[in-house]
Structure 1
Amino acid sequence: MSSLIIVVLVLNLLHILFSTVSVRSDQSVLPIRSFKVRENATYDCVDINNQPGLGHRLLQNHTIQMKPSVSIHELRNHIDNNKSYSSEIGCPDGTVPILRISNEYNTKAQLFSEKYFHPLTVDNPGAHIVGIRSSTGPYRGVEASYNGYTQYIEKDQASYSEIYIGSWLNNQVNYIQAGYIINPSFFGTGQLWTYGYFKGKDGKGCYNTACDGFIQVSRKIPIVQPININPGDSDWSRWSIHQDKATGNWWLTQLIENAPNVDIGYWPKELFNILNNGANIVGVGGVVQASHNGSSPPMGNGNFPVGSHKNSAMFTNIEVLDYNYISHKMNYFPTEILVDSPQCYDIRIGKVKLFHSKRLGFFFNYGGPGGKFCGV
């Protein structure tokens, strides 16, 4: 894949990161039960067969896959769970949790999108990326452990920590990404959330269950959820995006310490036209969007990766599934380091082997404070 194609793919990826959409549950479907987990987060338990994702025009004849055909355990060389988790949600059998958003917030989210976020262009992208990418696919999946922090992010800024896969062919782009997000114009709050996103064959995409496409399967862990942590503390997760061996669907799985792994849901293969035989690019890292006045927000925990590896944000045990579904450390493949604004953000490839008595595998530290002179 040429460097120009990779650049275009990344630009498309960044554009989608900072194009906001509203999140909703389908209010025409009567919820069986509801959970209010935060002031701004209520989940409706809706019939799994009537969930919003199935409304996509490409999924009219789709049959829900309840679990991957092969467990993620069987696809990996080692297991490294970094998080103990007790869900606040427990929807009844046959239902799934869908985040509820009011009509008022729906309108507000659209207004924020029009006012503060603009299509990303080469001339004025306003976005910065730090991470590691490999473009020698095809690949069947990527996974990593990573931590998210609460940071002050202005209303027209955004900060992400993500894993992603994607392909490019004949000016068409398909990709999937997931991780942590702080995006006040999207959620109406500066809180840390989990998220997922896809862009498919029709050139359109969607965050979480905000619109049609993603199929939620887990009754306990939704694709989008607020993370309640104190400033300075971090929340650890390990997520995997991987292609199902039998169906070709792309699963999102959360690997959890002291509990069974959770297959959250999947993006059906029908949504894509150039991911059927794997993805050409996989990557992990941080991305930020500058405010309208050009000020860039913090990335990670706001610290440069200098000194101890404990003092800045991390991605650890980064692994990639090759075309034959064999798992390798990401540096088994040729990799590219991405740092487009070193005066504001940086990256440091890890060398130590243990962190809090856990093996780090292939890892890196990243992040920085941002500011007004990060460039475009």
Structure 2
Amino acid sequence: MVSCCCKIPIFVFVFLLLLVISSSICAAHSSETGNSQANNQTFRPEEELKKLKLVRERLNKINKPALKTIQSPDGDIIDCVLLRHQPAFDHPKLKGKKPLDPPERPNGHNRKGMAAEDFQMWMMSGESCPEGTIPIRRTTEEDMLRASSVASFGKKPTRLVRRDSSSDGHEHAVGYVSGDEYYGAKANINVWAPRVSNQYEFSLSQLWVISGSFGDDLNTIEAGWQVSPELYGDYYPRFFTYWTSDAYQATGCYNLLCSGFVQTNNRIAIGAAISPTSSYGGGQFDISLLVWKDPKHGNWWLEFGSGILVGYWPSILFTHLRDRASMVQFGGEIVNSSPGGSHTSTEMGSGHFAGEGFGKASYFRNLQVVDWDNNLIPLPNLKVLADHPNCYDIQGGINTVWGNYFYYGGPGRNVNCP
């Protein structure tokens, strides 16, 4: 028998042993890493699925069954929804109610020359919603996923809205009256398409009807136009409404994104894009808005133009505004997110300062309030305020053609607004 004994040098043996051990450790580490990655991959879809489920539940509440659907040239989908099926009647205090008949207009309101209703892009389709329905801009998953959370979708950030404070990034140029009892407000508002720097900012021009303190009990009714890429996914100016009864905390929303505002008009879609808009040195386009408290039932109605009723905010939504307003405010507001540590270049109004005047600066004209006896009257003691006048400013005036008016706005970041 022949035997063969092969001796392996000790250093080779040690090397091979270390190699085996190293391979085992790497394999184990690889297995653990793979398991960790797999766990992460299964964790994230669960979170996404949970969010998507919440989104779809919310969409089912907002988007009501449509009798007819209209495709707008700007990409919006407009659903014609039965009056009684609109989101307002999901509110516990409004369930089973029917839309009210038109109220008495304020005394002194001129309804001659009814305004054209085709001031929105969706009307360019040539389609309209049938009688007994209202047009509602359909909310999409993409709309909701742009919001910071499903719960915050359609709401303004929780904040105090003192005219003289902008520590929260909100900056204003406004005209206002306070210190009396007010039952409505009216104005013609110049419409532009201001540049908004990023998705987290907006630019708007509106009127506010306000009551309560600037604390947790603030009540507001708001209407005007806004450019808000986060809310709408584009940079078109859009007709909007808002309300809150607790300083933007739990109550209220934009447009028809929650129960509250009762729409009665079948030709105006709240939240839809406005067309035409004003151009610098060219044609000027403004919209007329009137908000007033119906003396008979106490609800706050919204009228567009010279007689087109949009709908109303039921008085039961409010605490202080159930009785009257203590302040009326008109003007522009932007959000400054201070990109890169500098002031935003988001524009207010036309993006030009008040001093440039007609055709270049944005304006509010024919400013009026409604008194206790349902009379439209000129503004007593209009005050104007810009909290960052080097960025956005305001200049008031009065004449026989425009009544009380002001020019306002600005470009944001410039050599004097760093």
Normalised by the length of structure 1, the TM-score is 0.81
The answer for the alignment partner of 2:312 in structure 1 is 266
What SS class does the counterpart of residue 369 from structure 2 fall into? strand
Q: Tell me the distance in 2 between the aligned counterparts of 1:82 and 1:304.
A: 32
Which of 137, 162, 182 is equivalent to 2:206?
162
| Identity among equivalent pairs (%) | 26
Establish whether residue 127 from structure 1 lines up as the match of residue 170 from structure 2: yes
Paired amino acid for 2:133: T
Deviation of the 1:111 alpha carbon = 5.3
Paired amino acid for 2:95: Q
Q: 1:104 to 1:297 in 2, by over 3 A?
A: closer
Deviation of the 1:92 alpha carbon = 1.4
The answer for the alignment partner of 2:134 in structure 1 is 96
The answer for the alignment partner of 1:49 in structure 2 is 84
Q: 1:79 to 1:347 in 2, by over 3 A?
A: farther
Paired amino acid for 2:389: P
Question: Which consecutive unaligned segments of at least 5 residues does structure 2 have?
Answer: 1-57
Residues 251-297 of structure 1, C-alpha deviation per residue, up to 9 Å, x if partnerless?
110124xxxx2100111111011112211111111111112524151
Residues 119-167 of structure 1, C-alpha deviation per residue, up to 9 Å, x if partnerless?
4476831111111111122111001001111122122221111011010
Deviation of the 1:342 alpha carbon = 0.9
Establish whether residue 237 from structure 1 lines up as the match of residue 287 from structure 2: yes
Deviation of the 1:27 alpha carbon = 6.6
Q: 1:25 to 1:370 in 2, by over 3 A?
A: farther
Give the alignment of 1:201-350 within 5 angstroms. 203-229=250-276, 232=280, 234-256=284-306, 261-293=307-339, 294-330=343-379, 333-350=380-397
Residues 140, 242 of structure 1: 8 Å contact kept: yes
Q: Tell me the distance in 2 between the aligned counterparts of 1:341 and 1:126.
A: 11
What SS class does the counterpart of residue 355 from structure 2 fall into? coil
Q: Tell me the distance in 1 between the aligned counterparts of 2:205 and 2:361.
A: 13
Paired amino acid for 1:288: I
Q: Tell me the distance in 2 between the aligned counterparts of 1:52 and 1:368.
A: 37
Residues 298, 315 of structure 2: 8 Å contact kept: yes
Q: 1:374 to 1:197 in 2, by over 3 A?
A: farther
What SS class does the counterpart of residue 226 from structure 1 fall into? coil
Aligned residues: 338
Deviation of the 1:46 alpha carbon = 1.0
Q: Tell me the distance in 2 between the aligned counterparts of 1:318 and 1:282.
A: 10
Q: 1:164 to 1:118 in 2, by over 3 A?
A: closer
The answer for the alignment partner of 1:107 in structure 2 is 145
What SS class does the counterpart of residue 321 from structure 2 fall into? coil
Residues 295, 371 of structure 1: 8 Å contact kept: yes
Normalised by the length of structure 2, the TM-score is 0.73
Structure holding more strand per residue? 1
Residues 180, 192 of structure 1: 8 Å contact kept: yes
Q: 1:187 to 1:57 in 2, by over 3 A?
A: same
Structure holding more helix per residue? 2
Paired amino acid for 1:265: G
Deviation of the 1:329 alpha carbon = 0.9
Larger radius of gyration: 2
Question: Which consecutive unaligned segments of at least 5 residues does structure 1 have?
Answer: 1-22, 354-358
Deviation of the 1:82 alpha carbon = 9.4
Deviation of the 1:56 alpha carbon = 1.7
Q: Tell me the distance in 2 between the aligned counterparts of 1:43 and 1:90.
A: 10
Q: 1:62 to 1:200 in 2, by over 3 A?
A: farther
Paired amino acid for 2:308: V
Bigger mean CA deviation after superposition, 292-301 or 227-236: 227-236
Q: 1:162 to 1:64 in 2, by over 3 A?
A: same
Residues 32, 46 of structure 1: 8 Å contact kept: yes
What SS class does the counterpart of residue 253 from structure 2 fall into? strand
Deviation of the 1:316 alpha carbon = 0.5
Give the alignment of 1:183-194 within 5 angstroms. 183-194=228-239
